[in-house]
Structure 1
Amino acid sequence: MSKEPTETEHDIPSWLNDAFLETALKSEDVHGDLKVTSCKIVRATSPGDNYLSLIYRATVQTTTRGRSESRSLIIKCQPQEGFLKEMTNKYRFFELEAEMLKDVLPAMHKLLEEANIENFSPFCAKHLYSRFGPPAQVIVLEDLKESGFQMAERTAGLDREHCMIVMNKIAQFHAASLVLKQRNPQLLEAFLNPCTNDMLVNEFDFFESYMSDLCDEINTRCEYLKEYIGKIRMIGERGAKRFTEGKSRREGEFCVLAHADLWVNNMMFRYVKESRQLTDMRFVDYQLSLWTSPTVDLLYFLNSSPAMDLLEDQTEFIERYHRVLGETLCALGYQHLHITLEHLNELLESRGYFGMLSVFSIRNVVLSDDESRINLDDLSPEGKKKFKFGKMYLESLKLQIPLLEERGWLV
């Protein structure tokens, strides 16, 4: 093996080598003579940036028909041992994500391309290869960083311009899924009732202790939030069940294919280099996608990822989403599938508790620091289950909890 040593060599699985990468790249090699001559592999994410996968970046040197080439790949593989490996096997995260990347999203892209949708660009990185047998489940993707995409600063929160491009993108995504459901419904069958939707209730019996620890922190450090402790503690008693209910579709409800894990670390942005003008974005991590209410994506994102000054009044984001959803459906010839803005707002209110639970869950992950970062292994049945909460998160709650109370969502 000619893999160059790195400072994280001990973290790299032995099977992730020249031979594996050659197999992966040959899956798209039309000439059949591709050879990997060397590769350098490093961890691509930091602790706290990704939970259900290990992410590596491979810089690969190849030769094809006598011509040398260097390219960068992202290798996404399941945790190598323990509770998280068992979970990824049980809930088919990798199979479902590969199905999204290989079949569903390309079909959605084709619909939008054929309709000449304005400002359309792909929703994801290109899928190159996937495997689900031993020694590990793995997906190989193009490296979006090579095309100039990068992650935003997690703890800073997204400004208005970034939030608007997310609204544009997720509206096009939802619209394309509605049309795909009409034209090719079998492609979406795996996402109607995915086993991943029951994961939280079945595997993570921690929400009550998590909220109890939060109440202890508030009691010690947040005088201005003490009046809400009773309600917060009650929310924890049935939080996991309600979170699952909040993600699940309801009979007869307006539904779309939701990304269902739409937060700042699951998106990448591209800018004009000189001016830093935002030009494009991609979503990443499709392991939890499912057919459900569009409000699952809207509430999760808008309660977790915007900058602090954008949390109070989000009317403009909902209106932008609604407008682009309608414009896209119209361009696709399916305007009759659109809903009114009034109906959308009713749906948001009916799932307000899901937005509330997003504040008490993913918002903490967004604003976590080294001391308060959550390790999913700690949430296993044998985990320590002691939670800490950083200063930025507690400051955010100072604004968000009164907003939840005002909207009647703190229940």
Structure 2
Amino acid sequence: MPETNSTTDMKLSWLNNTFLEKVVKTSEEDDSLRVTSFDLGRATAAGDNYSSVMYRVKVHYTTRGHSGSRSFVIKTLPTTEKMAEMIKESNVFQRESDVISKIAPRVYDILQKASEDRKKTQPFAAKCIYSQLEYPDVIIVLEDLKEEGFRMAERTEGLDMDHCLLVLRTLAKYHAATAVLYEQDPQLFENRSGKICITTTAVDYVIKSYQKQDGDFNVLTHGDLWLNNMMFRYSESTGRVQDIRFVDFQLVNVTSAAFDLHYFLSTSPSPNLLKKHDILIEEYHKTLEETFALLDHKHLHPPIEKLKKELDKKGLFAVIIACTLLPFVLVEHSKVPDIDKVLKNEEGVKFSKKYLETLEKMVPIFEEKGWLDVEKFLKE
């Protein structure tokens, strides 16, 4: 049968039966396998992702007289010129590939070996099936979590308490295990940072403060922890959220865990949870304590007072995220901006009514915490 796909994209000239046979064979290990056709479509909608283009491909094949099919998610460079240039300079595809293929499996192994019930230990990320990191054809192929029942939440609604608690408990386990792994094998974490190509005072501050500092609670941060970079699975009987996978590890860095916490809390919880962030932080800290005890590394566990002091020290980061990224999160589906024009200062983000209402609630909280004192942060 001929090669078929449901979308035409000249930049995907490498996507053919031969390439997909190589991908499928990495897990099937069957030399007789032959790809007969494939169906291709976008895996995300406009506004759901800016740092890559994600396709979902269903591959049909035959092997030893039988037919079968597999579904994968393929990540490639953004189609917009300016963003693709930034992504290339930042080397984020290489970083993501390293994390999900080398670090994430070891983090999972650390937790699974320490757990009394190994079946309850879940991976943090989708499995990396294949990667090709030579420009211009930069490709990462992942297992399709949708096939396992995972889906994204509605970005403009925000996450309720059940979702937020699951996120922060999982994040605490991930942070704790990466801190342990960093202590055991620091060389594994070399070159886990990259160049950030934006040139404003706010971003200059972020770049400076984002560097690893001795005395902080340092972990391998996700770096881009908002609700569209996580997928959830729900109970068939109750409908309640029960499992999570983090996706898009392109901005990972060894630095303070406070950055992940601020990033998530400033972008993803429902606005009606704004006054309950302390509850979420305490649940994160409680899970940290339990995980470090399980891993026999209690000495790495920061006291709650230290964690809160660290969050205050990085408080301006929360304000910057709320002012720069939250507008993209809450933009109306019909008004998603052209990211290339935004980066070229040819277009701005149209603030939605929901964003303005949310920011109006956030500003008094930031002011009460002292996070709007920009001069104080810039002097530190």
TM-score range, shorter chain: over 0.9
Shift in Å at residue 372 of structure 1? 4.7
Q: How does 1:187-202 map to 2 (within 5 A)?
A: 187-191=188-192, 194-196=193-195, 199=196
Cα contact 2:5–2:38 (8 A) shared by 1: no
In the alignment, what sits opposite 1:342? 305
Residues 1:395 and 1:21: Cα distance change in structure 2 (over 3 Å): same
Q: Distance in 2 between matches of 1:183 and 1:39?
A: 43
- Of the structure 1 ranges 22-31 and 291-300, higher mean CA displacement relative to structure 2 is found in 22-31
Structure 2 spans left out of the alignment, 5+ residues? 374-380
CA shift digits 1:221-249 (9 cap, x unpaired): xxxxxxxxxxxxxxxxx212122234332
In the alignment, what sits opposite 1:217? none
1:90 aligns with 2:89: yes
In the alignment, what sits opposite 1:129? 130
In the alignment, what sits opposite 2:198? 204
Shift in Å at residue 369 of structure 1? 1.1
Supply the AA of the counterpart residue of 2:198.
Answer: F
1:4 aligns with 2:4: yes
1:386 aligns with 2:380: no
Q: How does 1:328-339 map to 2 (within 5 A)?
A: 328-339=291-302
In the alignment, what sits opposite 2:114? 115
Q: Distance in 1 between matches of 2:126 and 2:177?
A: 17
In the alignment, what sits opposite 2:216? 253
In the alignment, what sits opposite 1:23? 22
Q: Distance in 1 between matches of 2:136 and 2:225?
A: 30
Structure 1 spans left out of the alignment, 5+ residues? 208-237
Q: Distance in 2 between matches of 1:91 and 1:355?
A: 23
Tell me the SS of whatever aligns to 2:216. coil
Supply the AA of the counterpart residue of 1:67.
Answer: H
Residues 1:95 and 1:245: Cα distance change in structure 2 (over 3 Å): same
Cα contact 2:230–2:244 (8 A) shared by 1: yes
The correspondence for 2:202, drawn from 230, 239, 251, is 239
The correspondence for 1:297, drawn from 240, 253, 260, is 260
Residues 1:69 and 1:321: Cα distance change in structure 2 (over 3 Å): same
Identical residues among aligned pairs (%): 39
1:145 aligns with 2:181: no
CA shift digits 1:200-258 (9 cap, x unpaired): xxx334x5xxxxxxxxxxxxxxxxxxxxxxxxxxxxxx212122234332233220110
Tell me the SS of whatever aligns to 1:9. coil
Q: Distance in 1 between matches of 2:80 and 2:332?
A: 26
Supply the AA of the counterpart residue of 1:260.
Answer: G
Cα contact 1:48–1:375 (8 A) shared by 2: no
In the alignment, what sits opposite 1:184? 185
Shift in Å at residue 29 of structure 1? 3.4
Residues 1:12 and 1:39: Cα distance change in structure 2 (over 3 Å): farther
Shift in Å at residue 387 of structure 1? 3.4
TM-score (norm 1): 0.86
Q: Distance in 2 between matches of 1:111 and 1:338?
A: 16
1:398 aligns with 2:360: yes
In the alignment, what sits opposite 1:219? none
Q: Distance in 2 between matches of 1:184 and 1:98?
A: 18
Number of residue-to-residue matches in the alignment: 371
Q: Distance in 2 between matches of 1:11 and 1:390?
A: 35
Supply the AA of the counterpart residue of 2:169.
Answer: N
Tell me the SS of whatever aligns to 1:2. coil
Shift in Å at residue 388 of structure 1? 2.0
In the alignment, what sits opposite 1:62? 61
Tell me the SS of whatever aligns to 2:31. coil
Shift in Å at residue 117 of structure 1? 6.2
In the alignment, what sits opposite 2:38? 39
Q: Distance in 1 between matches of 2:218 and 2:260?
A: 11
TM-score (norm 2): 0.93
Q: Distance in 1 between matches of 2:22 and 2:179?
A: 36
Tell me the SS of whatever aligns to 1:20. helix
Cα contact 2:3–2:36 (8 A) shared by 1: no
Supply the AA of the counterpart residue of 2:279.
Answer: E
Cα contact 2:328–2:349 (8 A) shared by 1: no
Q: Distance in 2 between matches of 1:260 and 1:14?
A: 32
In the alignment, what sits opposite 2:376? none
Residues 1:402 and 1:89: Cα distance change in structure 2 (over 3 Å): same
Cα contact 1:174–1:256 (8 A) shared by 2: yes
